[in-house]
Amino acid sequence: MYRWRARRCDVDRDGVRRVMESRILDALKDRTLELGPTPDTSDTYRNFKLTRDADGVAWLLFDRANASANTLSEEVLTEFDMVLTALEAQRPTGIVIRSAKPSGFIAGADINEFRGSDPVAIEAQIARAHAVVDRFEALKIPTVAVIHGFCLGGGLEIALACQMRIAIDGARFGFPEVMLGLHPGLGGTARFTHLVSPLQAMPMMLTGKTIDARKAKAIGLVDAVTEERHVRNAVKDAVFGRLKRAKPSPLIPLLNFSPVRGILASRMVAEASKQAPREHYPAPYALIDLWEKHGGDRPAMLKAEQRSFARLMVTTTAQNLIRVFFLREAMKKLAGAGDGGIKHVHVIGAGAMGGDIAAWCAHQGLRVTLADMKAEPLAGAIKRAADLYAKIVRKRTDQRDTLDRLIPDLDGEGVRNADLIIEAVPEKLDLKQKVYAGLEPRMKPDAILATNTSSIPLQDLRTSLTRPERLLGLHFFNPVSRLQLVEVVSHDGVDQEMLKRATAFVGAIDRLPLPVKSSPGFLVNRALTPYMLEAMMLLDEKVEKETIDAAAEQFGMPMGPIELADQVGLDICMAVGDMLRSKFGDLLPPTPAWLREKVNRGELGKKTGKGFYVWKDGKAEKSSAAAATARPSQEMIDRLVLPISNVCVACLREGIVDDADVVDGAMIFGTGYAPFRGGPLHYARSRGPDNVAATLRTLAAKYGDRFAPDEGWETFT
């Protein structure tokens, strides 16, 4: 239901992965990745294989043991140092480093080692890693990185230490460290800004965005882009001086000149502050400061990078963002393996949610039929899908193929062959049950019936079904293409095998499943509703809307609750609030009468152009003066955010969700809850459960029982 902006790397990772795995596996089968006829030390190393071809070129194949992707650990770098010793002794005519993993070159550093608490020890560890990379860079032998798939973070820093870089078409490059509250730490800050214009290098590091091979060639990051079948010839040209190398821009020394750096750095700080406040996200500012102070002196910047990285590593922000990384990985595992046998999805309802769910499923390679009673919603859904594919699918032929998989189905005939039917009609019990009555007799015996309801308990929805055991919930969040969470809702009579298949389906379409038991509002909407309604109470108390939004943003939310309510639609907020209040009574703030009047006047928010804010070109018009003078109190912040933690504890106690970490992950990936806080339960744990409960009791005494601490706080640790 709720729409909330969330920061994420805007790249179809799984789409690229599938293409690259297919290409590389084919190459392995036909031996085009064979490294040479005469192995030198094929069994000497645990993570590397070293061979030499007929031209005397050493091919170093990185194949990290017992891992699906290559990452850099202390063990790997120590062994890499041993390989360098061997190469220095053998003096090959050239050295080629590439990956044996179909997924890509190197995915970055091993995040499992990002757990230190002593900056001195971390700096010493980073210094040892720097020494290995510096040694590699200093080799007096032509070095070439051959890159396919993802080349990220530490992997890109290894590639930068090579004299030449050859990319396989489809490769992607980036520095995602900022997403972990860090900046590059293996020399990338210095090497990148001296190879590529700082005007292009710094934004890549500051945002974590990736670029494709063609863009990497255009900015001078790689020297050539080729197909797998031409790699050997490209390598020969590189080693023997025939490759036309990328030339660094003559403006780079000027842009790295001290006075110019100062001007550019101040502009970068201004841009960064619009997206990530310094007090919440120190990494971008540390990177800008590093470049501003040392950008003109490469050795000094390499040294200063180590110290800056070590200091960032021990910040609360970095440790919480690293925790979020592991939460995502844990939630991916909940999906299990496979796709649940789901090949054809039939979506009923071509509105904002149904249409976007259908578009996303088609993007993930599934055959999708989209049904609606009228042609106009279907046409609108197809147009939105085309606009989405134009943004996230690179090739026009692939855009066309994806659209071909999304089939408008005015007569609803797709239900007969669908493996999964997703109902996404408006939130009305009688309407949904009417839809079920018409489609259930036409479904395949093993087909799954899923509802995208955001709040109606499945126990109510199932009463009209002949086979209620195959009804379950798949609750997506808006916008579907950006928010990763899907609540997989069960009830006491659900078919467990179908539930397992549905959960696997969520993982197969690159989404994170949250297993929840059916209950009003499930987890996310139940937790967010008091946040939204408390903002209405503050408006009732004549607090400026800009001040209320500023309170949430000061805490770290991506947008305030008033702007969020406009984004969601005031009619939807009111309907969900009424439904949940009918279930939970005084545990929720009442819906103000003036909100009903606003809805009755048609002032529904963004979709009608006016709600609490006036909306133009998709943006809320805010009073800059009111925003500048907003001074929210800590009590106001607590009134907004602590009820979220309170509901999460209640859902944990009631068994709606079984795991506290999964609750935190759900709120981050489903709503954008301040990721640097680590989630609402982790925030409560960091602040102290006793402190949170005591603060709630104080608020309850002052404002009413809606703030009463849940009894789950007594056992929460």
What pLDDT band is residue 300 in, cutting at 50, 70 and 90? very high
Annotated active-site residue 194? The verdict is no
Amino acid (one-letter) located at 418:
A
Higher pLDDT, 293 or 582: 293
Q: What is the pLDDT of residue 629?
A: 78
Rounded distance, CA 651 to CA 308, Å? 40
Cα torsion for 634, 640, 645, 650, to the nearest 10°? 130
Rounded distance, CA 374 to CA 114, Å? 53
Q: pLDDT digits over 348-367, tens only? A: 999 989 999 999 999 999 99
Mean pLDDT, range 57-84, rounded to an integer: 96
Q: What is the pLDDT of residue 16?
A: 44
Start-end of CATH 1.10.1040.50 domains in the chain: 525-714
Q: Which of 363, 475, 491, 682 is catalytic?
A: 475
Residues ≥6 apart with Cβ < 8 Å to 116: 122, 125, 313, 314
Q: What is the pLDDT of residue 156?
A: 98
The CATH number assigned to the domain with range 13-320 reads: 3.90.226.10
| pTM summary value | 0.89
Q: What is the pLDDT of residue 151?
A: 98
The yes-or-no verdict on residue 229 having pLDDT over 90 is: yes
Average pLDDT, the chain: 92
Start-end of CATH 3.40.50.720 domains in the chain: 341-516
Measured over the CA atoms of residue 360, residue 361, residue 362 and residue 365, the dihedral's sign is positive
Match domain 341-516 to its CATH number in 3.90.740.10, 3.40.190.10, 3.90.1200.10, 3.40.50.720. Answer: 3.40.50.720
| 365 phi, psi to nearest 5 deg | 95, 5
CA angle 346, 672, 683 (to 5 degrees): 135
Higher pLDDT, 23 or 400: 400
Q: What is the pLDDT of residue 42?
A: 52
Rounded distance, CA 474 to CA 515, Å? 10
The encoded tokens of residue 624 equal 């800059």
| 70 phi, psi to nearest 5 deg | -80, 125
Least confident range of 279-293, 452-466, 484-498, 637-651: 452-466
Mean pLDDT, range 216-227, rounded to an integer: 97
Rounded distance, CA 572 to CA 455, Å? 11
277, 221 in Cβ contact below 8 A? no
Q: pLDDT digits over 150-173, tens only? A: 999 999 999 999 999 999 999 999
Q: pLDDT digits over 315-352, tens only? A: 999 999 999 999 999 999 999 989 999 999 999 999 98
Element (H, E) at 517: strand 512-517
Rounded distance, CA 572 to CA 562, Å? 14
Mean pLDDT, range 236-241, rounded to an integer: 96
The yes-or-no verdict on residue 632 having pLDDT over 80 is: yes
Q: What is the pLDDT of residue 581?
A: 87
The encoded tokens of residue 471 equal 């009804």
Higher pLDDT, 145 or 630: 145
Start-end of CATH 3.90.226.10 domains in the chain: 13-320
Give the class (CATH, top level) of 525-714.
mainly alpha
Closest CA to 536 of 628, 621, 619, 640: 640
Rounded distance, CA 157 to CA 136, Å? 11
How many Cβ atoms from other residues are within 10 Å of residue 705's Cβ?
10
| 296 phi, psi to nearest 5 deg | -85, -5
The yes-or-no verdict on residue 6 having pLDDT over 50 is: no
Q: What is the pLDDT of residue 479?
A: 87
Report in angstroms the alpha-carbon separations of 678 from 159, 318, 477, 681, 696: 32, 10, 20, 8, 20
455, 525 in Cβ contact below 8 A? yes
The encoded tokens of residue 390 equal 């134009």
The yes-or-no verdict on residue 119 having pLDDT over 70 is: yes
Q: What is the pLDDT of residue 273?
A: 92
Closest CA to 460 of 450, 468, 449: 468
The yes-or-no verdict on residue 22 having pLDDT over 70 is: no
Q: Secondary structure of the chain: what % helix, strand, coil (to 5)?
A: 55, 15, 30
Cα torsion for 526, 527, 529, 534, to the nearest 10°? 140
The yes-or-no verdict on residue 194 having pLDDT over 50 is: yes
The label of the residue with tokens 């891992």 reads: 67
Q: What is the pLDDT of residue 551?
A: 96
Q: What is the pLDDT of residue 31?
A: 35
Q: What percent of the chain has pLDDT over 90?
A: 84
Mean pLDDT, range 626-637, rounded to an integer: 86
Q: pLDDT digits over 581-607, tens only? A: 888 888 888 888 999 999 999 999 998
Q: pLDDT digits over 403-447, tens only? A: 999 999 999 999 999 999 999 998 889 999 999 999 999 999 999
Higher pLDDT, 11 or 589: 589
Mean pLDDT, range 504-530, rounded to an integer: 96
Q: At what angle do helices 283-294 and 198-207 cross, to 10 degrees?
A: 160
Q: pLDDT digits over 647-674, tens only? A: 999 999 999 999 999 999 999 999 999 9
Rounded distance, CA 638 to CA 635, Å? 5
HSE on the CB side for 173, CA within 13 Å?
32
Mean pLDDT, range 126-132, rounded to an integer: 97
